[in-house]
Amino acid sequence: LNRSLGVMDATAASMCKDNHLPMLVFDLSDPQNIVRAVRGEEIGTLVLPE
């Protein structure tokens, strides 16, 4: 990997999986991305439960 990538919280990911919850994965380097996610704008990758 040439880029510095953050790591997702393993406990949060496990809880989402165990409880069949969707998870939105997005870049936190831009603080406005949190606002965009809360507003429901298309950002990042939506991981849906199986």
If residue 24 lies in a helix (H) or strand (E), which one and from where to where? Answer: strand 23-25
What is the pTM assigned to this prediction? Answer: 0.74
| pLDDT given for residue 4 in this prediction | 56
DSSP state, residue 48: P
| pLDDT given for residue 1 in this prediction | 43
Rounded CA separation 26/8 (Å): 10
Rounded CA separation 24/44 (Å): 7
DSSP state, residue 30: S
pLDDT (mean) for 42-50 = 93
Residue type at position 46: L
Residue range 1-42, pLDDT digits in tens = 455 556 778 888 899 999 999 999 999 899 999 999 999 999
| pLDDT given for residue 9 in this prediction | 84
